[in-house]
């Protein structure tokens, strides 16, 4: 399977939303009920246009144009949630004291466990490190926790987040310390 990573564009939003829905519905079985997934799609999961504007959101795209993964990082306060989430904060983080946020990672179910999530996360990590951040935080979904753990993230607790349909979704906040870039001599 060949794919390329590129920065998401605003005109990608519809295709990204389709990928997010397909991923959430296809990879959440065994972790969340269908009602929780639908509630999350109405409030916790979705495209965050601010990441696209900030040029910190990536798309993994196959040669035929199929989006097979997406994910990004942010220098803003919001930890999770798309455009539909009302309690977002655009406040900028301070790389000297705040961790960058890893945001909105989704992989097509037919391409899961083939290295796409890992490639997206490595690209985000490299950019956040180059921007001066020394740590990363994310709000992991239960299906995503094994990937994040394998890539050095550690759980910092559990969160039960209320959803618009009256359901509650369990998330796992996670953190990773970054190694500074080597100094060229």
pLDDT digits (tens, 9 = 90+) for 33-80: 999 999 999 989 999 999 999 999 999 999 999 999 999 999 999 888
Confidence of residue 180 (pLDDT cuts 50, 70, 90): confident
pLDDT interval class at 182 (50, 70, 90): low
Distance CA 61, CA 41 (A): 22
What pLDDT score was predicted for residue 1?
67
**CA torsion angle for 85, 87, 89, 95 (degrees, to 10)?**
-90
What is the Rg, in whole angstroms, of the alpha carbon atoms belonging to the chain? 16
Average pLDDT over residues 141-154: 97
Q: What does the pLDDT read at residue 90?
A: 80
Q: Is 48 helix (H, G, I), strand (E, B) or coil?
A: coil
CA triple 153-161-45, angle to 5 deg: 75
Q: Cβ of 149: how many Cβ atoms within 10 Å?
A: 15
Dump pLDDT digits (tens) for 88-130. 778 899 999 999 999 999 999 999 999 999 999 999 999 999 9
Predicted local distance difference test score (pLDDT) of residue 88: 72
Q: Check: pTM over 0.75? Answer yes or no.
A: yes
Alpha-carbon separation of residue 75 from 4, 26, 162 (angstroms): 24, 29, 25
Query: Which has the closest alpha carbon to 169: 18, 60, 35, 61?
Result: 35
* Structural domains in the chain plus CATH codes: 3-80+88-177 (3.40.630.30)
Regarding beta strands 168-177 and 135-141, do their DSSP bridges make them parallel or antiparallel, or are they unpaired? Answer: antiparallel
**Selected residue with higher pLDDT from 80 and 175:** 175
- Return the half-sphere exposure (C-beta side, CA atoms, 13 A cut-off) of residue 110: 7
């Amino acid at each position: 399977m060949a794919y390329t990573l590129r920065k998401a564009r605003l005109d990608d939003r519809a295709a990204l939303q389709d990928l997010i829905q397909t991923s959430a519905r296809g990879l959440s079985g065994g972790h969340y009920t269908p009602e929780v997934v639908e509630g999350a799609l109405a409030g916790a999961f979705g495209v965050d246009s601010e990441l696209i504007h900030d040029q910190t959101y990536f798309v993994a795209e196959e040669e035929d144009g199929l989006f097979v993964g997406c994910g990004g990082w942010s220098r803003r306060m919001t930890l999770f949630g798309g455009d539909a989430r009302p309690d977002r904060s655009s406040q900028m983080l301070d790389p000297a004291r705040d961790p960058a946020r890893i945001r909105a990672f989704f992989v097509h179910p037919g391409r899961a466990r083939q290295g796409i999530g890992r490639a997206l996360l490595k690209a985000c990590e490299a950019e956040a490190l180059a921007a001066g951040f020394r740590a990363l935080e994310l709000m992991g979904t239960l299906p995503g926790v094994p990937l994040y753990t394998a890539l050095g993230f550690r759980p910092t607790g559990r969160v039960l987040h209320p959803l618009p349909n009256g359901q509650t979704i369990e998330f796992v906040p996670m953190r990773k310390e970054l190694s500074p870039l080597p100094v060229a001599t």
